[in-house]
Amino acid sequence: MTNATAEKNVSKTETGTDNSALVTKQGATHIADTVVQKIAGLATREVSGVHSLGGGAARAFGALRERIPGASASAGQGVSVEVGEKQAAVDLQILVEYGVSIADLARSIRKNVINAIEQMTGLEVVEVNINVNDVHIPGDDDESEESSDRVQ
């Protein structure tokens, strides 16, 4: 990078015209991956039609964790992120409710996740990849809970 290019980038950052107030002449703000992961997970769960996040093993582990007194479900379950100095990328694994348009749901999730991360962190979200692992059919949970109750 030439000095002229570097000066242009610095002045662009200092004036805030590049949508990032994370690096200024007063200092830099670094945001941990887990912060962005939790924001993305919570923003995804807010969207109607998302039953849960994570693959089968992650959901099973989360269900076990919920049964332990004092333990809480992980807000970042089913979410992986890559966070740079000014940008972030998000990968989501979701379980959708039966009957929901997956294309519309994906659009809503992307919008909500991008808005939440950009508003809270100042990072630019460059992509939100969504992997739909399964469809939740009402009544499936009731049957699995009854069978686990019989085992105990």
Query: Which domains, from first to last, does the chain contain?
Result: 1-29 (no CATH), 31-151 (3.30.70.1350)
Residue (of 65, 14, 24, 47) closest to 115 by Cα position: 47
pTM higher than 0.85: no
| pLDDT at res. 14 | 38
Tokens of residue 140, six digits: 């499936």
Per the CB < 8 A criterion, the answer to whether 76 and 87 are in contact is no
Question: Is-contact 132 102, C-beta < 8 A?
Answer: yes
Task: List the chain pLDDT tens, one digit each, 152 residues.
Answer: 433 433 333 333 333 334 457 888 999 889 999 999 999 999 999 999 999 998 755 555 555 555 556 555 567 789 999 999 899 999 999 999 999 999 999 999 999 999 999 999 999 999 999 999 999 998 876 544 444 444 44
State residue 1's pLDDT score: 41
Q: Note the pLDDT of residue 31.
A: 94
Q: Where are the beta strands (DSSP E) in the chain?
A: 23-24, 27-28, 50-53, 79-83, 87-97, 124-136
In the prediction, which pLDDT does 20 show?
53
